[in-house]
Amino acid sequence: MARKIAYEVLRRVEAEGAYASDVLHTELGAGVRSDDAALATELALGVLRWRGLLDFLLERSLKKSVARLDLPVAIALRMGLYQILFLERIPARAAVNESVELVKRARKTSATSLVNAVLRRASAEAKEPPEKFLPPGISTATRLAIVHSHPEWMVERWLARFGEPQTISLLKADNRTPRLSCSLHHSERRDEILDGLQESGLHLEPGLLLKTAFAVTGGSPTRTPAFKRGDISIQDEASQAIPLLLDVQPGDRVLDLCAAPGGKTPTLARAAGNNGLIVAADRHAHRVRVMREQFKRLALPTIRLLELDAAHPLPFGIEFDRILVDAPCSGTGTLARHPEIRWRLKPAQFSELNHLQSDLLAMALNQLAPRGRLVYSTCSLEPEENEDVVAETLRRFPNVCRVSANEAASSISTHLTPGVDAKNLFDDAGQFHTMPGVYQTDGFFAVLLEKKGKQ
């Protein structure tokens, strides 16, 4: 069961451009045993993370590119080799046999002998470090790209920007299974909610960044009464931190401009209270429907949902006190959680995203009230999508400025776990950064902007 599910996830990711997390959510229904769900998730995401290294090792035997194989054969080889290299609890013989069976079920019987031979050779070499098979004289970027399974162009960018030690740390973080972090929605009932989760069989660990966050192992939080009641949500800790930067006050008019799937909006809505106005918008109707279900689960009926293309002038007759622009981005800060992104992304896309993000931010600033505040954020590590967008926007809007690093840090400091210094999360320009691996979060960027008051 687990291997069939993992195979289908990988097939849809490659053939249809689907996202693995979305397919897993669909495939891993209530009828799937928890151990099968765990193995299917490990196989699908593990193969995607390590695809570059797997293909490099497979091609030593194939003598041709894995990309030239029929897709079912390529997936079966990758799944088999991943199990041999990374899942010690699965005997190599079982991994080989299951991969052969996958090829047979896909009606590629002629490839069974190839799959069997290649994986048996790989099994014999499994204890050897990958570095042993690297060609001599390759560059640092090529070596790191192969060993840590990332595109070489991406590694080159990060080496130039971060240097080798930090790049290696980042590459390693991308290949670790991320913490399953959750947000707690009712802090006054904290002990009751956490006790109930433990009674459901989950193991809990405190948040590393935020007081209201916690991490879960040993099962799925979505199957618990606490999740169904709306007491908790699954959300990365850095993502949870972004709406806190706005420091929404009771009665504020708040716009969440690129809100789907709706993880950040509840924090804004609760802070604004019953007398506030909360508008959550997204350009896709199906994502608006997802948000509607999310807010229903969380008992937040007062959030007003809107389908709109925010890259064009906005249809509001009012100005907002607080605006969140969590912009569509490359997602290079989420490669552990969404490993397929590393194989799809092309360098030319950064320029395209920069134009879209700049348009979104400009439209939002036009709707911001004097002395109002706006957070622009992405889950990207790339300057084209972050610092460059902000710098360009500040040139276009002389009546907008960054909030100072000290003031931005003060907006979030009370929410941080003991021992975390808010100032360490901001650069000298007052821009918020998290790097994968530091607090076991995704990589996020954010900046708090303020519109100057009318004279």
Q: What is d(CA 393, CA 85) in angstroms, rounded to the nearest whole number?
A: 48
Q: How many CB atoms lie within 10 A of CB 397?
A: 17
State yes or no: is 182 an active-site residue.
no
Per-residue pLDDT at 220: 85
Q: Tell how far CA 400 is from the center of its chain.
A: 30
Write out the two tokens for 61: 């035997």
On the question of pLDDT at 121 being above 80, the answer is: yes
Per-residue pLDDT at 455: 44
- Catalytic residue, from 182, 258, 329, 379: name it: 379
pLDDT for 212-223, tens place per residue? 999 999 888 988
Contact 373, 422 (CB under 8 A): no
pLDDT for 239-274, tens place per residue? 999 999 999 999 999 999 999 999 999 999 999 999
pLDDT for 343-371, tens place per residue? 999 999 999 999 999 999 999 999 999 99
Topology of domain 180-234 in CATH is Alpha-Beta Plaits (3.30.70)
Q: What is d(CA 350, CA 346) in angstroms, rounded to the nearest whole number?
A: 8
Measured CA angle at 262 (ends 256, 263), to 5 deg? 105
pLDDT for 190-204, tens place per residue? 999 999 999 988 999
Q: Mind spelling out the 3-state secondary structure of 318-343? A: CCEEEEEEECCCCCHHHCCCCCCHHH
User: Hey, what amino acid is at 59?
Assistant: E
Q: Which helix (H) or strand (E) holds 449?
A: strand 444-451
Per-residue pLDDT at 87: 87
pLDDT band at residue 30 using 50, 70 and 90 as cut-offs: low
Topology of domain 237-451 in CATH is Rossmann fold (3.40.50)
pLDDT for 162-195, tens place per residue? 999 999 999 999 999 999 999 999 988 999 999 9
Query: CATH topology of 180-234 equal to that of 237-451?
Result: no
Domain ranges of the chain: 2-138, 139-170, 180-234, 237-451
pLDDT for 383-426, tens place per residue? 999 999 999 999 999 999 999 989 999 889 999 999 999 999 99
Q: What is d(CA 225, CA 204) in angstroms, rounded to the nearest whole number?
A: 16
Superfamily of domain 2-138: NusB-like (1.10.940.10)
On the question of pLDDT at 323 being above 70, the answer is: yes
pLDDT for 418-455, tens place per residue? 999 999 999 989 999 999 988 999 999 999 999 987 64
DSSP code of 317? S
More confident residue, 124 or 318: 318
More confident residue, 325 or 1: 325
